[in-house]
Structure 1
């Protein structure tokens, strides 16, 4: 896959960062797997690491341009953010030694199960109405779940929004608020995961394919994806899309299903 195609797909990662709070991870993982198919089984490991770097930049930028009144809902979540980061460090370390096939099937299985949960269990498509949901300081996740959520998200390269957005929906937040708050939580997971990935030894298959990696990160693919994503994030934060809440929730589920299918061998 050439740089122009990756940049074009980067536009989509910018949309998913702002609209769905994914930070680009759900799109970046299957795209980098395809782009680096020459690495064979190691492509999944490289895709997960590259996804983390893309999420750091995308989620960090999206957080910086999010209105402070929205981010106020995370006030008092310092312990949760710390545990997310600790768990992410562990998950990124496990990725370095786990069989690549395990990471691929875990990604597909987790996303598929999440989509099924959102469809079958009440509270996501039609959340309870709760006045003051934007600024009342409610937690996006119970603090005790911080470490395991961070570990799973970093291992899969997804940033954690697939867990935090449904939780915030069921707490009464609109999709617009839930997806905006997912970006700072994604940043807490992606930063340590990226640090671990950049410090790792490159995969042996990269030598045979003459692919130059920085640790486990495909810097060329990451740069192309970000070149497409960042302008889109800037535009959509200034002029947000006006999507009715219920179709917004359905679109979230639809994207999950699409990504899970795209990752099938």
Structure 2
């Protein structure tokens, strides 16, 4: 049953990623959190660390996707090195600071932080000018999201 649920939410994640430009973490983090707490219980160490595990899993997926996209853009010669490379230090510093903060934070703090992040993102998206109709290519990409 868990695998069927994971497959369904994987499809939902693909659809939301194509339609909205995001979706993986928004779908996967709550799903993993709920599945880990349901399967291991609140007293189990895995259940107590469920939010840490869910966010870390989503972060690992983002790192792999960002690396693949960066390599593809580098091969296509779309990157301007003197713009991109300075960002690497700030990304690394943010990763270290975030990891240290996450190790010291309780699962509840991480959970409420994620909820606030969702709220801010939803608010941000609701303020975007939606006056332009969807283009046919975007509608076609949404169909691809169903398959992936």
**Shorter chain as normaliser: what TM range?**
0.5 to 0.7
Q: Are the aligned partners of 1:23 and 1:54 in contact in 2 as well (CA < 8 Å)?
A: no
Cα–Cα, structure 1 residues 55 and 33, in superposed 2: closer, same or farther, change >3 Å? same
CA shift digits 1:219-243 (9 cap, x unpaired): xxxxxxxxxxxxxxxxxxxxxx722
Q: Are the aligned partners of 2:26 and 2:118 in contact in 1 as well (CA < 8 Å)?
A: no
Structure 1 residue 243 corresponds to structure 2 residue 144: no
Structure 1 residue 26 corresponds to structure 2 residue 30: no
Alignment RMSD: 3.7
Q: Are the aligned partners of 1:45 and 1:95 in contact in 2 as well (CA < 8 Å)?
A: yes
- What residue in structure 2 maps to residue 42 of structure 1? 49
TM-score by length of 2: 0.64
Higher relative helix content:
2
- Which structure: larger Rg? 2
**d(CA) in 2 for partners of 1:73 and 1:20?**
27
Would you say how many aligned residue pairs link Structure 1 and Structure 2? 130
Cα–Cα, structure 1 residues 13 and 114, in superposed 2: closer, same or farther, change >3 Å? closer
Cα–Cα, structure 1 residues 64 and 27, in superposed 2: closer, same or farther, change >3 Å? farther
Q: Choose which of 103, 110, 121 in structure 1 pairs with 2:110.
A: 103
Cα–Cα, structure 1 residues 5 and 57, in superposed 2: closer, same or farther, change >3 Å? farther
- What residue in structure 1 maps to residue 129 of structure 2? 125
Structure 2 gaps, min length 5: 41-45, 131-135, 143-148
TM-score by length of 1: 0.39
**Shift, 1:30, TM fit:** 0.9
CA shift digits 1:133-169 (9 cap, x unpaired): xxxxxxxxxxxxxxxxxxxxxxxxxxxxxxxxxxxxx
CA shift digits 1:207-261 (9 cap, x unpaired): xxxxxxxxxxxxxxxxxxxxxxxxxxxxxxxxxx7227xxx9xxxxxxxxxxxxx
**d(CA) in 1 for partners of 2:129 and 2:80?**
21
In the TM superposition, 1:177-216 aligns within 5 A as none
Cα–Cα, structure 1 residues 15 and 30, in superposed 2: closer, same or farther, change >3 Å? same
- What residue in structure 2 maps to residue 191 of structure 1? none
- What residue in structure 2 maps to residue 115 of structure 1? 122
- What residue in structure 1 maps to residue 3 of structure 2? 3
Q: Are the aligned partners of 1:33 and 1:43 in contact in 2 as well (CA < 8 Å)?
A: yes
In the TM superposition, 1:48-127 aligns within 5 A as 48-64=55-71, 68=76, 71-72=78-79, 76-120=83-127, 124-125=128-129
**Shift, 1:103, TM fit:** 0.9
**d(CA) in 1 for partners of 2:60 and 2:14?**
14
**d(CA) in 1 for partners of 2:16 and 2:66?**
10
In the TM superposition, 1:155-174 aligns within 5 A as none
**d(CA) in 1 for partners of 2:70 and 2:16?**
14
